Chain A
């Protein structure tokens, strides 16, 4: 519990009850991850019918005011579906005054796809005179979601470069939508616009003509914003027709079907690659 006792007032019975209820909300949530009915029962017992909960933000798209039913569904449906056993949230300190309880909490969660999700929170619970949670504010490190979403989007670039470097094109074909387009602008040249089939044919021919046709991503070069990811990668290859070395740096601008999305509890991965725009510096690729 909070405080080192130095000059601390004695808490009232109501304040003790409110602290216990704050702990119970998180315990009930964790119970709901395993047993939806139990989670619902325990949350309905301590949350007011008119509960309002949200993550405070000056950005109206991030501060979404939701009600009790939405909180219960988040716990007993979304989190129930996505969190592995052993996932937990843990309150480690509280500050209480009257009908307000501020709690410091950590989460240590793993999603069923193996992705870890951890965060740091200072929640604020506001209670009704009857001791039910009326308002629940979840202050937390929201930039974690940006980091994690960007990691998921950047992975698309990793997968793309990997598929481009496998001396085959089926992997690349799998990453692209059927209607995907590919634009390549050689050094000093005009853009070549290709549909998926033509792009894969070009890659196939480059793989045949150049030994060592494989790309190494440049560290820290990924740029991620929404459904777009760009990445720079180096190519070191040899043109088998004239034995000339090719040392080039490529800039790929990739657009996916949709941006990565996250909620309070997890993330939904974006789709396939819709377009690739490829640029080059330091040299040219053979015209195919």
Chain B
């Protein structure tokens, strides 16, 4: 990296630390376009006792990654981002074994969604240039917002595929997906659900499901959906989902599979 006038005061050790911080971000970025080797500099940049975490007072989100876990998370996640994604340090503050960096990110996913964030990271060093801790302070609400927005898209696609008896339903359903009918009878898998919906569409040629006004309420991993079918019935579903798939759907009151023409 190129040091500026602002960095004139830094000691040799501090310059090594600043350069290492930029190199780590650079390695993360390179992995997006070169998933095979882009991450390799991390092996020497991160000390053997390295840990990474996002400081939070919420115990549900407290987790630490060690060196192996962190490198694996970079190697496994980043091929799902487009190479045009951005991660850029815009300013740093360095003294002794600490480097604080302000970083802007724009993660563009293969599914077309984007997550933009602002970070204030802290790098701690043992030997100069070897990172022992990496703490990421950021607008964590942006991640929640993004997860909910993606969940909403997923649920809408699921409802559309359900109403259309589309083979998309199999792609959207997770392995082990279960649909719980309103009458409380045994849950059915996506193949049986698709078969039954197709049979329904043969009987009810104008089958159409649409989400009523304010009928879609999405939280992290779970959504409540209220639908009206072309028969005028009101249907309610509670849908569970992960990043990419619907894992479970339970229906209430009016059974979609009981719709008559």
Indicate if the CB atoms of B139 and A96 lie closer than 8 Å.
Answer: no
Indicate if the CB atoms of B139 and A230 lie closer than 8 Å.
Answer: no
Indicate if the CB atoms of B54 and A97 lie closer than 8 Å.
Answer: no
CA distance A142 to B144 in the complex (A): 10
* A50: chain B residues within 8 A (beta carbon): none
| Most chain A CB inside 10 Å of its own CB: which residue of B11, B57, B251 | B57
Partner of A12, one of B9, B92, B140, B141: B9
> How far does the Cβ of B31 sit from chain A's closest Cβ, in whole Å?
22
B93 CB–A CB distance under 8 Å: yes
Q: What sequence of 0s and 1s flags, for each residue 50-83 of chain B, a beta carbon within 8 Å of any chain A beta carbon? A: 0000111110010000000000000000000000
Indicate if the CB atoms of A139 and B55 lie closer than 8 Å.
Answer: no
* B253: chain A residues within 8 A (beta carbon): 185-189, 279-281
Given A102-B120, A281-B184, check contact A118 B57 (CB 8 Å). Answer: yes
Interface size on B, as a range, is: 35 or more
CA distance A139 to B128 in the complex (A): 26
Partner of B236, one of A106, A119, A146, A251: A251
Partner of B120, one of A139, A142, A220, A249: A139
Given A3-B97, A281-B183, check contact A143 B143 (CB 8 Å). Answer: yes
Residues 217-273 (chain A) with a chain B CB within 8 angstroms: 220-225, 228-230, 232, 249-251, 253, 255
* A98: chain B residues within 8 A (beta carbon): 6, 9
Partner of A58, one of B13, B116, B144, B214: B116
B199 CB–A CB distance under 8 Å: no
B182 CB–A CB distance under 8 Å: yes
> How far does the Cβ of A33 sit from chain B's closest Cβ, in whole Å?
19
A168 CB–B CB distance under 8 Å: no
CA distance A120 to B138 in the complex (A): 10
Indicate if the CB atoms of B183 and A187 lie closer than 8 Å.
Answer: yes
Indicate if the CB atoms of A57 and B219 lie closer than 8 Å.
Answer: no
> How far does the Cβ of A78 sit from chain B's closest Cβ, in whole Å?
20
* A97: chain B residues within 8 A (beta carbon): 6-7, 9-10, 92-95
Partner of B182, one of A12, A100, A141, A187: A187
B41 CB–A CB distance under 8 Å: no
Q: What sequence of 0s and 1s flags, for each residue 163-197 of chain A, a beta carbon within 8 Å of any chain B beta carbon? A: 00000000000000000000101111111000000
> How far does the Cβ of B256 sit from chain A's closest Cβ, in whole Å?
12
Indicate if the CB atoms of A141 and B217 lie closer than 8 Å.
Answer: no
* B16: chain A residues within 8 A (beta carbon): 7
* A250: chain B residues within 8 A (beta carbon): 252
* B184: chain A residues within 8 A (beta carbon): 249, 281-283
CA distance A7 to B117 in the complex (A): 32
CA distance A144 to B234 in the complex (A): 35
Indicate if the CB atoms of A96 and B234 lie closer than 8 Å.
Answer: no
Binding-face segment, B161-169, B170-178, B201-209, B221-229 = B221-229
Indicate if the CB atoms of A6 and B128 lie closer than 8 Å.
Answer: yes
Partner of B9, one of A5, A9, A251: A9
Indicate if the CB atoms of B95 and A142 lie closer than 8 Å.
Answer: no
* B55: chain A residues within 8 A (beta carbon): 104, 120, 122, 141
CA distance A223 to B100 in the complex (A): 37
Indicate if the CB atoms of A62 and B9 lie closer than 8 Å.
Answer: no
B99 CB–A CB distance under 8 Å: yes
> How far does the Cβ of A226 sit from chain B's closest Cβ, in whole Å?
8
Given A101-B93, A118-B57, A191-B234, check contact A139 B217 (CB 8 Å). Answer: no
Q: Which residues of B contact A (CB under 8 A)?
A: 6-7, 9-14, 16, 54-58, 61, 91-100, 102, 104, 106, 116-120, 122, 125, 128, 135, 137-145, 148, 180-184, 214, 217-219, 222-224, 226, 232-234, 236, 238, 250-255, 258
The 9 A-B pairs at the shortest CB distance, nearest first, are namely: A3-B96, A7-B13, A282-B184, A8-B96, A58-B116, A279-B252, A102-B100, A143-B140, A142-B141
Q: Which residues of A contact B (CB under 8 A)?
A: 2-9, 11-12, 55-59, 62-63, 93, 95-98, 100-102, 104, 106, 118-122, 124, 137, 139-147, 150, 183, 185-191, 220-225, 228-230, 232, 249-251, 253, 255, 277, 279-283
A-B contacts, 5 listed (Cβ < 8 Å): A104-B55, A186-B253, A187-B182, A225-B217, A228-B214
Beyond the given A141-B137, A190-B232, A280-B252, could you list 9 further A-B residue pairs with CB under 8 A, ordered by the A residue number? A6-B128, A7-B11, A57-B117, A121-B137, A144-B56, A147-B58, A150-B219, A224-B219, A230-B217
